[in-house]
Homo-oligomer: A and B are copies of this chain.
Amino acid sequence: MAPSSREASISLQEQLTETVEIMQKTITRLLPETDLPEAPLFEAMRYGSLNGGKRLRPFLVIQSAKLFNVDPKRSRRVAAALEFVHCYSLMHDDLPAMDNADTRRGKPAAHKAFDEATAILAGDALLTLAFEILADSDTHEDPRVRVDLVAALAQASGGHGLCGGQMLDLIGERSSFDLGTISRLQRMKTGKLMSFACEAGAILGKAGEPQRKALLNYANDLGLAFQVTDDILDVESNVTALGKDTGKDQQAGKSTFVSTMGKEQARARAEMLAAQAKRHLAIFEGRAEMLEDLADYVLKRRA
């Protein structure tokens, strides 16, 4: 019997909370405290990755992997590696030379809590650590699985993914983009890491091509729905609710989904994308309920 929407919603919230706790433990274990002379580097790495994130990407890794009965010890390591990449990109994006954001999740940005040099280096070290974790035999006994994870994460994070998307974002401050370019930008900056999250579950589970493809399509639509909602939140929220500087895009004159299509149409687009995302999961015949519920959650979130 399918649970009612109310039950499903409680259960998603529980799973999200559990993921936050699991990630806190996993990251702490992977980044132990140290009294080496270069300790500030590791403190900044911990600061930048143990700062109260929602852990949506780890949630996607863990839930996707669950579909293929992957040992949670493995999916948690991959989830942490991905979160390190996400967190390094936030640390670098917040720098004065980039988005110049003083706060992140309600706390001083890493370059404010430490200094710019330490924030740059800690970001570099987190990115590097992500690949070290994926390549370690604790992540999977099969080297082919490990190297597939490394390749997929590198493709999602480099010049044709995360870094390229941030470059486009910076260029967008000086020129206005059409809807196609905004979509491409967000696909690179946000979508590709979300796609990796879902693909990682399939890689860990040695899933067949149709299931891997379904998860990728789901993640693609979910990532875009997430970003459209983010643009709406940016114009609606204030710093207290969102925990970071808001209205920044507007101030910077950036092209966003909202500035291009208006808030109402943007909301309609996000709803369409979330519905489409859920349809890709039909192949799992109801077993991907958490991922389905997440698509609804992404629309409703206030922060």
Task: Identify the A interface with B (CB < 8 A).
Answer: 36-38, 40-42, 45, 88-89, 92, 95, 97-98, 115-118, 120-125, 127-129, 131-132, 134-136, 143-144, 146-148, 150-151, 153-155, 157-159, 163-168, 170-171, 181
Contacts and interface: CB of A to CB of B under 8 A. Distances in A.
B129 A159 contact: yes
22 contacts: A37-B181, A38-B167, A38-B168, A40-B167, A41-B163, A95-B120, A97-B116, A97-B120, A98-B117, A118-B170, A120-B120, A122-B163, A125-B163, A125-B164, A127-B128, A131-B131, A131-B153, A132-B155, A134-B150, A143-B143, A147-B147, A150-B150
Dominant secondary structure at the A interface: helix
Contacts of A36: 164
Contacts of A129: 154, 158-159
Contacts of A135: 147-148, 150-151, 154
A143 B147 contact: yes
A120 B147 contact: no
B120 A41 contact: no
Report the 4 A-B pairs with minimum CB-CB distance, sorted nearest first. Answer: A97-B116, A132-B154, A128-B158, A135-B151
A153 to B, nearest CB: 8
Nearest to A166: B121
Nearest to A150: B135
Contacts of A41: 159, 163-164, 167
Given A120-B120, A124-B92, A127-B124, A158 B132 contact: yes
A147 B154 CA distance: 13
B118 A167 contact: yes
B40 A125 contact: no
Q: Which of A42, A136, A147 has the most chain B CB within a 10 Å cutoff?
A: A147
A167 B97 contact: no
A25 B97 CA distance: 32
A118 to B, nearest CB: 7
Contacts of A89: 124
Contacts of A127: 124, 127-128
